[in-house]
Chains A and B, each alone.
Chain A
Amino acid sequence: GENVEQHPSTLSVQEGDSAVIKCTYSDSASNYFPWYKQELGKRPQLIIDIRSNVGEKKDQRIAVTLNKTAKHFSLHITETQPEDSAVYFCAASGFKSGGSYIPTFGRGTSLIVHP
């Protein structure tokens, strides 16, 4: 099955700095790559996603890049703010042979933004 590796597990930055979280996946059938933010005690919520026919996508201070050949994708947050502090999860999903659909998540990155 799919295997998603996410690094780093913890990331500590100063307010205003940039933060980068990286994920790799193993299954070439995966074609949808969402990123979720989970604040303490809350549910995961989508912040940005990218499909395999796109190399980069940006939404204000957040951007995601995808390298299909190398099977890795990254989340970039610029001008970080204390409210960006949360756990971030990457995921890889797509319809597999046989029709199954099992999104696979990375283990999460705890981002801490110091004021």
Chain B
Amino acid sequence: EAQVTQNPRYLITVTGKKLTVTCSQNMNHEYMSWYRQDPGLGLRQIYYSMNVEVTDKGDVPEGYKVSRKEKRNFPLILESPSPNQTSLYFCASSPLASGITDTQYFGPGTRLTVL
């Protein structure tokens, strides 16, 4: 089944404790991205990746890191989480090949609480 998976689905942590949220897709998509969703603010892009070893900042990258060592995986890293990073996080992928825009397929979401 074609899908985007994220783990963990729920996470409660404390300020300053490094964490990683994993994202994986099995659709051979080149484009992957991370969003955070906050009430009243919609979806805001954190980082995106056009292909392996190619990553770039989205609209709200501060406090986050990503890596793209393999095509299927795109982990989100919070080196020192703070309470303002409490949010619902979505990973997404898209068959964005040859410069042709296309829809994004979203993972199930990760609800993160930073105390």
The residues of A with any CB-CB pair to B shorter than 8 Å are: 1, 6, 9, 31-32, 34, 42-46, 49, 51, 89, 91, 93-95, 99-108
Is A101 a contact partner of B90 (Cβ separation < 8 A)?
no
Is B42 a contact partner of A106 (Cβ separation < 8 A)?
yes
Among listed B12-20, B44-52, B69-77, interface-contacting one: B44-52
**A16 to B: closest C-beta gap in Å:** 29
Across the interface, which residues of A come within 8 angstroms of B108, CB to CB? 42-43
The residues of B with any CB-CB pair to A shorter than 8 Å are: 31, 33, 35, 40-45, 48, 50, 56, 58-59, 90, 96, 99, 101-109
* Contact for A101 among B31, B103, B106, B109, CB less than 8 A: B31
Is A34 a contact partner of B40 (Cβ separation < 8 A)?
no
CB pairs A–B below 8 angstroms (14 shown): A6-B42, A34-B103, A43-B108, A46-B103, A49-B103, A91-B43, A101-B101, A102-B58, A105-B35, A105-B42, A105-B43, A105-B44, A107-B40, A108-B42
**B57 to A: closest C-beta gap in Å:** 9
Across the interface, which residues of B come within 8 angstroms of A44, CB to CB? 43, 90, 106
Is B45 a contact partner of A43 (Cβ separation < 8 A)?
no
Contact A94-B101, Cβ < 8 Å, known A1-B59, A101-B96: yes
Report which residue of B59, B101, B107 has the largest number of chain A beta carbons within 10 angstroms of its beta carbon.
Answer: B101
* Contact for A93 among B44, B59, B101, CB less than 8 A: B101
**B20 to A: closest C-beta gap in Å:** 20
Q: Considering the chains assembled together, what is the distance between the CA atoms of A103 and B107 in angstroms?
A: 16
Query: Which residue in chain A gives the minimum CB-CB distance to B6?
Result: A43
Is B107 a contact partner of A101 (Cβ separation < 8 A)?
no
**A53 to B: closest C-beta gap in Å:** 12
Which 3 A-B residue pairs are closest in the complex by CB-CB distance?
A32-B101, A107-B42, A43-B106
